[in-house]
């Protein structure tokens, strides 16, 4: 077989260039577009970026989602907005006593959110596009239009803790009601007994290393989108709340300036798997996804209510982002560090109060005894 030389990229046909570029992932395609004018011109084709998005996020392959992305500005813009992860390094360092000085300085309207601004944000404006991968294999794709239980902007939604349980509401659609499982065929190692798993944690480690979550939030009104997930787990718990459960935690740090006293909040994405069966002669190890939820938490660990959550999510879609996963991870670690320091300071403060109360009680008791004598 003879190989002919190519003097320049211009001598290649556009069809051949297109065939080359369509085999690339998003990051490589963006880099290739910078190499020559031919690749730069062809890389503007929406079909290329549609293939990239559908490959990375299978949920975007639906017709209704494609129409949504077209209204946002196209697949290229969608990839540019959602591939980088949210990074927020502006985590304020404050003391526990300072945390409680804010509500006294703020008016009720400021603390609980601007009612007029909150009413301008409709829960139906938001769309959640969620994909889960295990070892590069898609095991779950869900699309949730709007925010459940928020119809009519009722008082319950505004004042109760904000929470979106994706599995509970996606089952309404028949085409999304299938169970989500991870088994031996997906590359999961067998569990011969829970006692052995508690000892070596092999399945837990494989699950943490192999699972990936993408939770893209879209605001149809503002035409903005962002990925709220950390892609890889940032934490988790083995055998909680039972020995058959594995809990994985994803998320990001979102700004809440002028919305909440703590200035920043954590977007908490919880994924929980349960061991459905144990390996034996007839069955195979299977992990069943039992929970996939989103909620917002402040520095104190309290859940943010519905009104403020809408405001935070709206601002989150304009957050700085980075393609460097380590920067996103550093942002989450910084938040956890400040949160831990706040918790420790609170415990020291309460211990000092307990000590003063005990000493005061002893002093009162001694004084009473001396008085009686």
| pLDDT at residue 3 in the model | 47
**Has residue 102 got a pLDDT over 50?**
no
pTM: 0.83
| pLDDT at residue 6 in the model | 47
pLDDT per residue over 64-96, tens digit each? 999 999 999 999 999 999 999 998 877 766 555
Q: Which whole number is the average pLDDT over 292-302? A: 89
Q: Which of residues 50 and 369 earns the better pLDDT score?
A: 50
Helix axis angle for 63-72 and 75-82, nearest 10°, is 80
pLDDT per residue over 170-211, tens digit each? 555 544 456 888 888 888 888 777 888 888 888 899 999 999
| pLDDT at residue 59 in the model | 94
pLDDT per residue over 303-337, tens digit each? 999 889 999 999 999 988 988 888 888 888 888 88
Letter string b/e over residues 345-372, b meaning 16 or more CB atoms within 10 A of that residue's CB = eeeeeeeeeeeeeeeeeeeeeeeeeeee
* pLDDT confidence band for 106 (50 / 70 / 90): very low
| pLDDT at residue 155 in the model | 72
Nearest to 217 by CA among 260, 169, 166: 166
Nearest to 127 by CA among 215, 230, 259, 253: 215
Q: Do residues 156 and 300 make contact, with C-beta atoms less than 8 angstroms apart?
A: no
Residues 6+ apart with CB under 8 A from 279: 184, 190, 191, 192, 285
Instruction: Please give the Cα distance from 249 to 61 (Å, whole number).
Output: 27
Report for 101-115, 116-130, 161-175, 289-303: range of highest mean pLDDT: 289-303
Q: What is the mean pLDDT of the chain?
A: 81
Burial environment of residue 65 by CB neighbours within 10 A (0 to 12, 13 to 18, 19 or more)? buried
pLDDT per residue over 218-260, tens digit each? 999 999 999 999 999 998 888 878 888 999 999 999 988 888 8
Rounding to the nearest 10 degrees, give the CA dihedral for residues 367, 368, 369, 373. 100
Instruction: Please give the Cα distance from 268 to 339 (Å, whole number).
Output: 14
pLDDT per residue over 341-352, tens digit each? 877 887 888 888
Q: Count the Cβ atoms, other than its own, within 10 Å of residue 54.
A: 16
**Has residue 279 got a pLDDT over 60?**
no
Structure tokens that stand for 350 in this block: 């309460």
| pLDDT at residue 167 in the model | 85
| pLDDT at residue 170 in the model | 58
**112 φ/ψ angles, rounded to the nearest 5 degrees:** -95, 0
Q: What percent of the chain has pLDDT over 70?
A: 83
* pLDDT confidence band for 62 (50 / 70 / 90): very high
**Has residue 283 got a pLDDT over 70?**
no
Angstrom distances, CA of residue 350 to CA of 31, 160, 343: 55, 28, 11
Question: Given CA atoms 271, 276, 280, 285 in this order, what sign does their dihedral have?
Answer: negative
Maximum pairwise Cα distance, the chain: 115
């Amino acid at each position: 077989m003879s190989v002919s030389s190519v003097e320049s990229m211009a001598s290649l046909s556009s069809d051949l260039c297109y065939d080359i570029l369509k085999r690339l992932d998003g990051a490589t395609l963006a880099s290739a577009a910078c190499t020559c004018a031919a690749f730069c011109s062809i890389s503007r084709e929406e079909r290329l970026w549609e293939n990239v998005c559908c490959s990375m996020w299978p949920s975007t392959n639906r017709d209704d989602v494609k129409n949504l992305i077209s209204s946002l500005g196209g697949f290229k813009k969608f990839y540019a907005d959602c591939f980088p992860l949210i990074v927020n390094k502006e985590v304020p360092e404050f003391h526990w006593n300072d945390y409680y000085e804010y509500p006294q300085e703020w008016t009720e309207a400021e603390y609980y959110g601007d009612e007029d601004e909150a009413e301008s944000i409709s829960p139906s404006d938001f769309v959640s596009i969620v994909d889960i991968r295990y070892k590069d294999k898609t095991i779950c794709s869900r699309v949730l239009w709007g925010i459940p239980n928020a119809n009519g902007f009722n008082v319950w939604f505004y004042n109760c803790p904000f929470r979106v349980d994706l599995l509970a509401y996606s089952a309404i659609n028949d085409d999304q009601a299938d169970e989500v499982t991870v088994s031996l065929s997906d590359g999961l190692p067998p569990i011969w007994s829970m006692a052995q798993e508690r000892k070596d944690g092999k399945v837990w480690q494989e699950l943490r290393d192999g699972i990936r979550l993408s939770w893209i939030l879209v605001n149809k009104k503002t035409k903005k989108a962002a990925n709220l997930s950390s892609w890889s787990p940032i934490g988790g718990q083995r055998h909680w709340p039972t020995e058959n459960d594995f809990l994985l935690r994803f998320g990001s740090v979102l700004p809440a300036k002028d919305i909440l006293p703590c200035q920043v909040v954590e977007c908490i994405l919880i994924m929980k798997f349960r061991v459905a069966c144990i390996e034996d002669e007839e069955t195979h190890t299977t992990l069943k996804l039992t929970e996939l939820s989103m909620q917002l938490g402040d520095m104190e660990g309290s859940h943010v209510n519905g009104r403020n959550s809408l405001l935070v999510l709206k601002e989150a879609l304009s957050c700085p982002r980075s393609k460097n996963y380590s920067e996103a991870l550093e942002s989450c670690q910084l938040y956890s560090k400040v949160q831990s320091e706040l918790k420790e300071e609170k415990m020291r403060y309460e211990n000092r109060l307990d000590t003063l109360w005990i000493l005061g009680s002893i002093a009162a008791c001694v004084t009473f005894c001396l008085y009686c004598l």
